[in-house]
């Protein structure tokens, strides 16, 4: 039986093209859904972090002490002249602190790297690097320096916490006046990190301001020093790790998978509609 040309041409097309499922497309949809589900599972397994602020002393068991870690280089001052002095408002006045400290000569003995680990009371005070403890005071001590590290409390090795735990790390004063004193004014903020096991670690962030000036003694001599004057903030920052409940995790995974297939279906429908419209346009041109 002979059919008109237009009808014959129409028979070349699938009468129900959507009834045939493309195996490649099906596999891609499934892979996409699995990828989204895996991403959601990773987010669900990874603990979330809750931040809070409160007024309290978080580390009452420390006996009112804060551990300090200082690492500083003075490239133009001999090690025998370098000393650490500690003062605070509780009456502490210690000159030439040497416990848990180390001096490493630099530049063939012309300079010194000082590293010290010591504790301070939880009251306003200062600690300073100077020549005050030296047996004989040098004529013109050079206090140009680089601060490698200044931190307080426990070291937190936690990702995605952007805090000022070592705000002075890398501070470079090598080009400053050799006879100038340096004042670093610190505001120390107690910080607590509690992991999912309930273990707490106590650290301290700090902000800093600084100034330089030439200081004269009562005899008119210039005796420079590097001062770290500190005060404590009454506000404590606490980070707490938490994992979301199982039911919420399952609900989110189901929502991700369902949403993936829904969006894939919408895109498939749009593509199919556009394809059919294009075929009709092409068919019209062939007539």
pTM: 0.69
DSSP notation for 124-174? SEEEEEESTT-SS--SS-----EEEEEEEES----TT----TTTTTTEE-T
Sign for the CA dihedral angle at 125, 131, 132, 138 comes to: negative
Mean pLDDT by 10 residues, the chain (287 residues): 42 44 50 54 62 80 87 96 95 91 94 96 96 87 96 82 87 94 96 88 94 86 94 92 72 78 83 83 68
Radius of gyration of the chain (CA): 35
**What is the reported pLDDT for 6?**
42
Quick one: 224 exposed, middle or buried, by C-beta within 10 A (0-12, 13-18, 19+)? buried
- For 15, the token pair is 């009468």
pLDDT value, residue 273: 86
Q: With the C-alpha atoms ordered 235, 236, 237, 240, is the resulting torsion angle positive or negative? A: negative
Q: What is the pLDDT of residue 36?
A: 53
Would you state the pLDDT for residue 227? 98
Domain spans of the chain, in order of start: 21-46+244-286, 52-242
- Whether 165 and 153 have beta carbons less than 8 Å apart is answered as no
Beta bridge partners of 102: 115
What was the pLDDT predicted at 13? 41
Cβ-based neighbours of 280, under 8 Å, separated by 6 or more: none
CA distances from 108 to 79, 105, 111, 237 (A): 11, 7, 7, 44
pLDDT at 85: 96
| pLDDT number for residue 256 | 78
- Characterize 208-221 residue by residue with b for buried, 16 or more Cβ atoms within 10 angstroms of its Cβ, and e for exposed: eeeeeeeeeeeeee
Return the closest-CA partner of residue 152 out of 162, 161, 165. 165
Residue 19's φ and ψ, nearest 5 degrees, are: -75, -20
């Amino acid at each position: 039986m002979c059919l008109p040309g237009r009808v014959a041409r129409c028979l070349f097309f699938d009468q129900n093209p959507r009834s045939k499922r493309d195996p490649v497309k099906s596999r891609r949809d499934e892979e996409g859904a699995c990828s989204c589900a895996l991403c959601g599972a990773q987010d669900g397994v990874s603990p979330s972090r809750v931040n809070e602020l409160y007024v309290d002393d978080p580390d009452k068991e420390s006996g009112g002490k804060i551990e300090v870690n200082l690492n500083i280089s003075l490239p133009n001052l001999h090690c025998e002249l370098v000393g650490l002095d500690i003062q605070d408002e509780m009456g502490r006045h210690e000159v030439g602190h040497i416990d848990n400290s180390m001096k490493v000569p630099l530049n063939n003995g012309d300079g010194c790297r000082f590293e010290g680990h010591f504790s301070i009371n939880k009251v306003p005070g200062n600690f300073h690097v100077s020549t005050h403890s030296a047996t004989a005071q040098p004529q013109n001590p050079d206090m140009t320096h680089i601060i490698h590290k200044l931190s307080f409390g426990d070291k937190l090795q936690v990702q995605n916490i952007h805090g000022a735990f070592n705000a002075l790390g890398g501070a470079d004063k090598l080009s400053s006046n050799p006879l100038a004193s340096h004042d670093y004014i610190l505001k120390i903020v107690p910080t607590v990190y509690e992991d999912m096991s309930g273990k707490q670690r106590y650290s301290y962030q700090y902000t800093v301001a600084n100034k330089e000036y030439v200081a004269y003694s009562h005899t008119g001599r210039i005796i420079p020093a590097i001062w770290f004057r500190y005060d404590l903030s009454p506000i404590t920052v606490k980070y707490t790790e938490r994992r979301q409940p199982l039911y919420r995790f399952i609900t989110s995974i189901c929502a991700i998978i369902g949403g993936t297939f829904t969006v894939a279906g919408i895109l498939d429908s749009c593509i199919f509609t556009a394809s059919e419209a294009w075929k009709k346009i092409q068919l019209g041109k062939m007539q």
